[in-house]
Amino acid sequence: MAESARYPRVPEKPVLDGVESKWGNSWVKNNTFAFDKTATKDSVYSIDTPPPTVSGSLHVGHVFSYTHTDLIARYQRMSGKKVFYPIGWDDNGLPTERRVQNYFGVRCEPSLAYDKNFVAPTEPSEKQLPISRKNFVELCEKLTQEDEKVFENLFQTLGLSIDWNYTYQTIDKRARTVSQKAFLRNLKRGEAYQAEAPTLWDITFRTAVAQAELEDRERPGAFHKIAFKKQNGEQVFIETTRPELLPSCVALVANPEDARYKELFGKTVITPLFEVEVPVVAHHLVDPEKGSGIAMICTFGDLTDVIWWREFDLPTRGLIGWDGRIVSENPEWITSNKAKETFQKIIGKTSHTAREVLVSELKTTGELVGEPKPITHAVKFFEKGDKPLEIVTTRQWYIRNGGREQELRSKLLDRGVELKWHPEYMKVRYENWVEGLNGDWLISRQRFFGVPLPLWYKLDANGNPDYSQIITPAESALPIDPQSEAPSGFDESQRNKPNGFIGDPDVMDTWATSSLTPQIAGSWELDNDFFHRIFPMDLRPQSHEIIRTWLFSTVVRSHLEENSLPWKNTSISGWILDPDRKKMSKSKGNVVTPIDLLEEYGSDAVRYWAAMGRPGTDTAFDTGQMKIGRRLAIKILNASKFSLSLNATLNKSDVSQDVDHALLNNLAQVVETATSAFEKYEYTRALEVAESFFWSFTDDYVELVKERTYGNQGEEAAKSARAALGITTHTLLKLFAPFIPFVTEEVWSWWQEGSIHLQSWPKSFEITTKPDLGASALTNVTAILADVRKVKTENKQSMKAEVKSLEIWASKEVIAQVENAQKDLIAAGNIKDLKLNITQDETKVKVELA
């Protein structure tokens, strides 16, 4: 075996262990996936990678969906694209604040001064320690940095081909600059505006909440039947689940068709306990079947109240404050002494307590009829909150998103059509959402940790803010914090002083920053040359539940700022389902952490499982698939080692035998199928065709030609097989490279230079040696070999058992193919005597064992 030194780097016994750290480190160290900044737009493939919420926990879902993106990135890179594949960390917003509170046992108290010697408690204290806003933000930054390392470690172990030179944080300076600049542009163009309006309000977080952040939850409640007094002294009975809102009642409403109440429309009634005179109005939204068919309108109990309040131009009688408690002063519209006395009993109370008090009062006066009737109803919650939302009137900032203008809305719907969705049907979710919008995008949040609205307001001579007198910073001064910096033309001593200024205390919604990820990653306005090389981007990968938020808001910002789509394609990942359809939970002890998974099965194996999940399709968490992936990875190692040990070559001109030509034709077909599948973002299909070819290659073809490569048919025949083996191995490694990046890189390093991930994706014309031949010259022969194996198995013989005679009846063409390959066939089947007969009938085989 003089030639065995041809591939000296092939190990004796290849193993999977250690490939992740070996190649993962190598890729990072060598900048293997560095983006070429000089690349022209048409050669770039840019990816708007989702910034994971670092304060959340690592989940197998991360592994799943981020792998999908990486498959596309690696394919595009091998196809010759300059791939821009950055990543950001979402460390902005409520999840981070909440995690810091729990982790350190602190809470933000904006009135406190910054303590530069502050040291965070090592153990969270039982009672939350109040700290200044700046100290709080510092803790947020400290904790998220640690979280980010954990994610980075996971993603590198998983083999994501991210360019680590382009990481960003949604709270970092660049993100703040971009968010503030984009907001100021929106403001200048009239797309951002402030308004005093009823706002959905979370009393726990004390912040306004946007439509996209709402969810309905079924909650128990009770209908209370309460008597109002008509002008003629008779009673009319309403039913309400929120009797505590009685003091804020501004009208009664019934359906215009409801005969029971027709005579009341246009008249007034008197509220119980508080003796306020309110009108009775008619509106089609009232369901005559619900309750007594007549309801009280309060400011505000729910969103329908807001509609009625607006349409009937009713007064605002705010009752609930920002803390969720009843206001601390007797409202001006409650005038009688008895009513004032009653109101004193609920001042400052939570709505729950106020309800108990008023129900008891109503019982005493007899205005509550019967016992409350328990019901279950849908109540609006902030998706991250624990208490039902209240509606309070506040001044907030909005960005136009088509929620109030048909023209913009239809343009945004057109953007949805322009975007290529993978899978296509996900577009419907976008359309449903946009069509169902009922207001503009509320972007101001009353939080501490986030990107501040870059605004100040002038104070009048009395020291009251004049919100129409907005002071904006110069773009060059961004990012700014209006709470700690004074606007130009003022100095800090004028803060909160008459004729001075105040800073806007609010921060922007986390989506107001996330909606700019293409601009942040692409250094918009900071390096516009760079930006225009990568924008519009090629792909936004994400999951389906945030189409209404992240995807839509990004489309809005890009449409407003660039008058274009932010990306050409979006691919929507499905969810991970538990195999037993039960939620994984810590209490059950069956939580699988992704890092352990990668260690147990190997990253390539876990990626294989992920790759089996098609875009948009929910996939079961299935360690069985990972075992198969692991087996595939091991098989690639062994089969490649074997091919190389047979002195495989890449000499196309050596291929002379029909079975070898046919193998390459078959392979070329696989390449074409895999390529077109990848072009359609159907990576699973690409993997499947490569995999099934690979197994038939090792099981059938390699077995068939093994003896020939040893030289039993002479050097020329051996060379033909060695070239076919080499070309096939070479091509298969590339086809598997996006899926199984570690093992393919390992094998590549045995006999080739550089990284396989920077090689060109195979093309069918580079592979074929005799394209007109087709593939049947091989498949017809391996089918016969399979028949021989079957007979041996049926007779409980070993595969190398001798066949006394093999007789074949087949068409002229098949017989010719068998004749061409008969030496391979005889050697592989250990056949002593081969008889060939031409027939018109189907191929028939008779095997006689020794």
Tell me how far apart the terminal alpha carbons of the chain are, to the nearest angstrom: 33
802 binds RNA per the rule CB under 7 A: no
By DSSP bridging, strand 294-298 and strand 249-254 are antiparallel
82 binds RNA per the rule CB under 7 A: no
Joined tokens for residue 657: 């035998």
Joined tokens for residue 726: 């080499």
Burial 456-491 (b: 16+ CB within 10 A, else e): bbbbeeeeebeeeeebbbeeeebbbbbbebbbeebe
Sole binder of RNA in the list 799, 812, 819, 838 (CB under 7 A):
799
Joined tokens for residue 417: 């059509």
Q: Which of residues 352-381 bind RNA (CB under 7 A)?
A: 378
Residue whose structure tokens are 């070819």: 693
Sole binder of RNA in the list 622, 749, 752, 839 (CB under 7 A):
622
Angstrom distance (rounded) from CA 199 to CA 209:
7
Q: Which of residues 190-229 bind RNA (CB under 7 A)?
A: 211-212, 214-216
614 binds RNA per the rule CB under 7 A: yes
Which residue type sits at 218? E
Sole binder of RNA in the list 584, 634, 836, 845 (CB under 7 A):
634
Closer residue to RNA in complex, CB, 410/432:
432
Q: Is residue 536 reached through a cis peptide bond, with omega within 30 degrees of 0 on the bond before it?
A: yes
Joined tokens for residue 130: 């109040």
Rounded to a whole number of angstroms, the minimum distance from the CB of residue 599 to RNA is 13
Q: Which of residues 110-139 bind RNA (CB under 7 A)?
A: none
Size of the site for RNA (CB under 7 A): 56
620 binds RNA per the rule CB under 7 A: yes
Sole binder of RNA in the list 99, 225, 429, 447 (CB under 7 A):
429
Joined tokens for residue 71: 């498959």
Sole binder of RNA in the list 347, 417, 428, 838 (CB under 7 A):
428
647: which residues sit within 8 A by CB, 6+ positions away? 3, 4, 6, 7, 709, 722
Q: Which of residues 297-356 bind RNA (CB under 7 A)?
A: none
Contact 176, 168 (CB under 8 A): no
Nearest residue to 282 (alpha-carbon basis) of 260, 300, 266: 266
Closer residue to RNA in complex, CB, 290/363:
290
Rounded to a whole number of angstroms, the minimum distance from the CB of residue 639 to RNA is 4
Which segment (455-463, 526-534, 740-748, 791-799) binds RNA by CB under 7 A? 791-799
Which alpha helices (DSSP H) does 79-210 contain, by range?
94-104, 133-158, 173-188
7 binds RNA per the rule CB under 7 A: no
Contact 54, 92 (CB under 8 A): no
Q: Which of residues 570-599 bind RNA (CB under 7 A)?
A: 575, 577, 579
Angstrom distance (rounded) from CA 145 to CA 148:
5
Closer residue to RNA in complex, CB, 127/588:
588
Rounded to a whole number of angstroms, the minimum distance from the CB of residue 544 to RNA is 6
688 binds RNA per the rule CB under 7 A: yes
Nearest residue to 444 (alpha-carbon basis) of 455, 434, 460, 458: 455
Rounded to a whole number of angstroms, the minimum distance from the CB of residue 783 to RNA is 9
Angstrom distance (rounded) from CA 14 to CA 639:
10
Closer residue to RNA in complex, CB, 451/639:
639
Contact 321, 327 (CB under 8 A): yes
Rounded to a whole number of angstroms, the minimum distance from the CB of residue 694 to RNA is 10
Closer residue to RNA in complex, CB, 545/596:
545
635 binds RNA per the rule CB under 7 A: yes
Q: Which of residues 529-558 bind RNA (CB under 7 A)?
A: 544-545, 548
Supply the DSSP string of 26-44, one letter for each residue. Answer: HHHHTTTT---TT--GGGE
x/- map, 700-739, RNA, by CB under 7 A: --xx--x---------------------------------
Joined tokens for residue 818: 């068998």
Q: Is residue 423 reached through a cis peptide bond, with omega within 30 degrees of 0 on the bond before it?
A: yes
Closer residue to RNA in complex, CB, 494/797:
797
Specify whether the backbone of 546 is left (phi greater than 0), alpha (psi in -120 to 50) or beta.
alpha
819 binds RNA per the rule CB under 7 A: no
639 binds RNA per the rule CB under 7 A: yes
Sole binder of RNA in the list 62, 81, 495, 789 (CB under 7 A):
789
Sole binder of RNA in the list 758, 786, 838, 850 (CB under 7 A):
786
Q: Which spans of this chain sit near RNA (rule: CB under 7 A)?
A: 16, 211-212, 214-216, 378, 425, 428-429, 432-433, 436, 544-545, 548, 575, 577, 579, 612, 614, 617-620, 622, 624-625, 627-628, 631, 634-635, 638-639, 641-642, 645, 688, 692, 698-699, 702-703, 706, 786, 789-790, 792-794, 796-800
